[in-house]
Amino acid sequence: MKKHVLIAAMAFAMSAHVVTAQPEKSAAIATPAAPAKPADSTKKTAQTPASLEMKPIAAQTQAALWASRVLGRYHYSPVPLDDAMSAKIFDSYFDGLDGEKLYFAQADLDQFAALRTQMDDAINNEDLTAPFAIYNLYQKRFAERMAYARGLLKTNFDFSTDETMELDREKAAWAKSEDEIRDLWRKRVKNDWLRLKLAGKDDKSIRETLDKRYDNYVNRIRKLNNEDVFQMFMNAYATAIEPHTNYLGPRSADNFDIAMRLSLEGIGCVLQARDDYTIIREIVPGSPADKSGKLKVGDRIVGVAQGDKPFVDVLGWRLDDVVALVRGEKGSTVRLDVIPGAGGVDAKHMTVTMVRNKISMEEQAAKKSIIKVKENGVERRIGVISLPTFYQDFEARRKGDREFRSATRDVERILTELKKEKVDNVLIDLRNNGGGSLTEAVELTGLFIDKGPVVMQRTAEGRVEVESDTKPGLAWDGPMGVLINRGSASASEIFAAAIQDYGRGLVIGEPSFGKGTVQTLIDLDRFAPNEKMRYGELKMTIAQFFRINGGTTQLRGVTPDIKLPVLTDMDTFGESSYDNALPWVAIKPAQYMPLGDLKELVAPLQKRHEERIANDKDFQFLQEDINEVLKLRKENVISLNEAVRRKERDAQDARSKLREARLAGVSVNQDEPASGPGSAEKRAEGPDPTKPKKSVVAVRGTPRQDDGLQGDERDLQAELAAEKAAKDAKDVMLQEAANILADEVEMLKTDTRMASRVMPYMTVVDSK
C-alpha cells in the first residue's frame, strides 16, 4: 500500500491516508474492544481528577512540542507557531469550551488577555499551565452556572410576560456583567420549565426532573480528565491551522482505529452512560454477549473483573474508563457484575463470564436493499447499496491478510448478489458518508470503470500524483447512480466526482460538503522516550485532491446532475462555513477517456422528477419542514410566554394531524386543536449546555421534539423503539432517487439510439 514518508530523518512511518470531513471525537457510545496499546498505558497519560483543578503531565507537554514541530514543517499549509497563531489558538480554545457564550463573561476573557499571545510559548516552553488554568476557570464557571440554575428551581416563573430567549448565541457578544449572564440562565431555566409544563408535568415533577438534569450535567463534566483537557487545547491549535487537522489523544486514536477496521476484539456490547450506571444499549448478534444468553438491553454493569482477579467497582465511572476495562484480547476472559435491567437498582446481582472474541461492527458496513418502482404496468428493480463510511482494516492488509475487511470488497460482493437478483439499476447511497480511506475511494471507483485515473493529489511541494484504478474490468457495467447530500464528504466526493467525470452514472441529491484535502495519521508515540508513555496521534492535512477534470471539490463540493430539495443550511454546514478553509483552485486535467455522456438524460429526468414531486404529498410535507426550520433559524428566538407557546404547539399538532389525515385520505377538522398532557412541543429548543452547537438539518421522518424527559426519565426501550421508528420512516429522498433511476432505465430501454450515445459501453436490451 502506498505511503507518504514525510519525515525520513525522524524514521517514522505514516499510516494509511484518511480523508474525513469532521474532526474525530470520542464516541458517547462505545463498543468494548481490544486496546491497541498495553492495558496499563492509559494510566500514564490520563489522570481522573480528585478535585476540580486539572494539571498537565509531562507526556502532554512533550506531545504538544512534537506535534508543533510536525505541524510547522510538514503540514500542507504550514503556519508558524508565533504570536499571530497564538491569538487564533486562544480564540479557538475559548470557542471550543464555550461556543454559546453561556459560562464565561467578558471579565473572564479580560483576566486572561495577557495569554492571548502566549499560547505559542506554552507549547514551545513545555509549560501548559496557561491553557489548563483557562480550563479550570471554565469548570468553575460551569459549576457556578449550574448551581444558579438549580437555585432558580426553588422560585416561581411568570409565563404571562412577553419575553423571548435567543436560541443560538454563537455570534453573540460575551456577557458584559454577572447580572447579564444570570439573566441568560434565568431564561434558559424558564424555557426548560415551560417545555415540561407544556408536556403536562406538575411543578413538583418539573423541579425534580430539572434538578436531576442539571446535577447530571455537573457530574458529566467532573468526569473529564487531563487527557480530555489536553485534547481540547491541542485541537484548538490544530483546527486553527486548517479545519481538518486534529489531535487525537491516546484513547481517541484507539477508537479511530477501531472505526476504520469495522472489527474489534471484545464481548459485543454497545454501552451507554446513564446517571451513574453503565448500561447495555445493544448486543451484537453472534457475539460472546449474545451467546451467553444472560445479558439483555438495559442491564447495568457495576463491576468488571479480568479472569479470576477481583472485581473493580465501576459505579459512577465515565464511560470510556469502563470500556477500557471491558476491552481485552481475543481468547481472554472477562467477568461482569450486572444488575438486571428488568429489576430495580436493588435487584439481585448476577455474574456473567465471557471469553472475548473478534466482533464485526456491521452497523457501519455496506448494506443492500432493492426498491421496486412500478409505472405503466412495468416494474423496475433498483438495487441500493448504502455505504456509511469508506472503511478498511489497514493493519490486516499490511500484514498480508487476504481476507482483510474493506468497503470495496463488501460492495463487490453485494454487486454480485444484485446481478443474480436481476436489478435494472444500482444506486450507491453516500448520504452522510463523511469519508474514510482514500485507497477505498479509488478501488471502489474501479468497480464501475475499467482501468484509469480516479483522483489527483498535490503535495505541499507542488508535486502532483495520480491515483488510478489498475484492476481491469468492471464489477457492474449497467447504469448506476450516486446519492449524496451535504454530509457526503471527502472520499465520498472523490468517488462521486470520478463517476460524474467519467460519465459513468448520475449524481443525485444536494451539493456535497466541499472537502478537498487529504489527511494522514502520524503516531506521535514514536517520539516517546519509553513504551509506557503515550503521546497520541495527529490527523494532519498533507495534500489536496483534485478531480480528474482538473477541478477540486474544495469549498464547492460536487454539484449533482439531478437536484433534490436542499435539506441543509449551506451557510452553517460544509467546508464553506469554515473561516480558514483552503481556497478552490484548479490544475491540469489528467489523461482519461470518458465512458459516456449523460448530459442528454439530465434535462428530461429533472423535468420528470419535478413533475412527480409537485404532486407528491411526502415532498410537500418535506418542504414544509424545511421552511419551518429555516424560519426558526432566521428568527433565532423562542417565546417564553405560555399562551404563545401553546398556540404554536397546537398549530403544529393540527398541521401534523392534517398531514396524517391527508396521507390516509381522511377528512379532518382543521380547527380542532391537538393538545393534552401527552402533547410534545414542536418549537426548536435551546442547545444542551454540555454539548457543542451542531448544524440543524431538516429531515422528514425524524422524531418529534422531545418533551424534556429524554435523558432523565425516558425508558431505554422506548428510546430505542423511537430511534427504530425514525429509521423505518419512509425515506422520501431515497425513494425519489430510485424513481429517477427507474426513469433512466425506461428511457434507455425504449430509445436504444439514445442509449448508444450516452452509454456506449453498455449493452441495452429493448423492453418488450
Residues marked as catalytic: 490, 501, 515
Alpha-carbon gap, residue 716 to 707, rounded angstroms = 15
DSSP tag of 100: T
202-208-209 Cα angle (round to 5): 85
Question: How far is residue 108's CA from residue 139's CA, in Å, rounded to a whole number?
Answer: 13
Q: What is the phi-psi region of residue 618: left when phi exceeds 0, alpha when psi lies from -120 to 50, beta otherwise?
A: alpha
Q: How far apart are CA 115 and CA 49, in angstroms?
A: 25
Residue 472 contacts residue 462 (beta carbons within 8 Å): no
The C-alpha atoms of residue 427 and residue 432 are separated, in whole angstroms, by: 15
Q: For residues 684 and 497, give the distance between their C-alpha atoms in angstroms, rounded to a whole number.
A: 36
Cα 526 to the center of its chain, rounded Å: 29
Q: Which three cell numbers stand for residue 308?
A: 479470576
The 8 Å CB, 24+ separation contacts for 121-130 are 121/86, 122/64, 123/64, 123/65, 123/68, 123/81, 123/237, 124/65, 124/68, 124/81, 126/61, 126/62, 126/64, 126/65, 127/61, 128/56, 128/60, 128/61, 128/64, 128/230, 128/233, 129/56
C-beta neighbour count of 709 within 10 angstroms = 18
**Which one-letter amino acid corresponds to residue 136?**
N
Q: Where are the beta strands (DSSP E) in 356-505?
A: 357-360, 367-375, 378-386, 425-429, 435-437, 452-459, 464-469, 480-484
